[in-house]
Each structure stands twice: as C-alpha cells, then as structure tokens.
Amino acid sequence: MKTDIILAGVGGQGILSIATAIGVAALKNGLHVKQAETHGMSQRGGAVVSHMRISDKAIFSDLIPEGKADLILSIEPMEALRYLPYLSETGYIVTNTTPFKNINNYPELEAVLNKLGSLKRVVAIDADGIAEKIGSKLSSNMVMLGAASPFIESIELSSLEQGIIELFTSKGQKVVDVNLSALRSGKEFAEKTLN
C-alpha cells in the first residue's frame, strides 16, 4: 500500500511538524518513507510544499508525480488549490479555512472557499477555531493532521499519537495532551463531514 501526500502551506506555518509526526508514525509501522521539504528563501513567507510518500515497498522518487497524490493536506486554503495538478482522480483535499494574507493581491476568501467547495472529496476545516476551543491556538496543525488521518490508511491513529508524544515530550505533558486532543478533534470533524 502506498500513500502520497502533498503538504502545503506558507513558510513559517510549520508544515514540517505535521510531516515529522507522520514520518515518525510511518517508521513505527515499519513503512518506507520519503519526504521532500522546502528549505531556504521560500521559508520567508513564501509558498512551501512538502512531498511525503509512505509505502510498504521501496520508494523511488522523492517527488510525487502529477496526478498521483492521494491527499493534499494544506494549512491554508489558497495553497490547497495551488497543488491541484498533483491530485489523483480519487484523491482527497483536507484544508484549513483560515487564510494567511501576506500578499496584497490575495483573492476574495469567499471565492477561494467556493472553488474548494466545488471540488469533490474536500474536507474544509476551521482548524484555528477548533484549536482555540481546545485551549491552544498553537495546536491547529495537529487538528489538521487529525482531519487528514482517515485518509492516511497505511497508518493507525495510535501510531500518529505515538508520533505526537515523541515530537512534544520535551515540551512537557501539558503540550502533549493538548496536541493529542487536537488530533482527535480533527479526526472527529473529518469523519462527521464525510458521513
């Protein structure tokens, strides 16, 4: 089984923490992983993308070919649309609805959300709102990961939880708990949307 994920966002939003949590979980399951990241100039508020590939067989390319991604996981709504050429015919989009406006010509948010709404298999989630309810705005990325988790079939939720525990243990039990609860809230939201 193979899962190809495009992780999208804006430099500084922390898509790499999501990637790391998935990566740790994949390794726990004895899967092969390749994860191409964006470092450098774009990290200063530019569009950033990470190609994450998980498989039980050896993986060749570090880049996902166009039309082959099973999932676009974006923490910014316009950025989700930027990678549509990569999405497969049966792939899902899981995106945050909070825009990150650091450009003057950012399109009307309504138009962006309408465009997303017109596509099939989209989970649009107010990750920031949910994170705030849980009590930590900073955990919105883990809400996103939770919302994406039903579409990463090769990895069990418990492995993702294990990944989060490893990622945040150094920051204390409270941070671990908040992020775990963020993960579960995201998952619940996605499942509700699907049903």
Any contact of residue 102 with another protein (CB under 8 A)?
yes
Residues 74-93 as x/- pattern, contact with another protein by CB under 8 A: ----xx-xx-xxxxxx-x--
Least gap, CB of 188 to another protein (angstroms): 28
Strands 87-96, 122-125: parallel, antiparallel or unpaired by DSSP?
A: parallel
**Mapping DSSP to helix (H, G, I), strand (E, B) and coil, where does residue 41 land?**
helix
122 forms beta bridges with 93
Type and span of the H or E element at 91? strand 87-96
Any contact of residue 163 with another protein (CB under 8 A)?
no
74 forms beta bridges with 8, 95
CA 84 to chain centre: 15
User: Tokens for 180?
Assistant: 């775990």
Residues 6-45 as x/- pattern, contact with another protein by CB under 8 A: ----xxx----------x---x----xxxxxxxxxxxxxx
User: Tokens for 184?
Assistant: 């579960």
Query: How many of the chain's residues bind another protein (CB under 8 A)?
Result: 53
Q: Of 81 and 180, which CB lies nearer to another protein in the complex structure?
A: 81
User: Tokens for 146?
Assistant: 């939770």
| Binding stretches for another protein (CB under 8 A) | 10-12, 23, 27, 32-47, 51, 59-63, 65-69, 78-79, 81-82, 84-89, 91, 102-107, 111-112, 115, 119
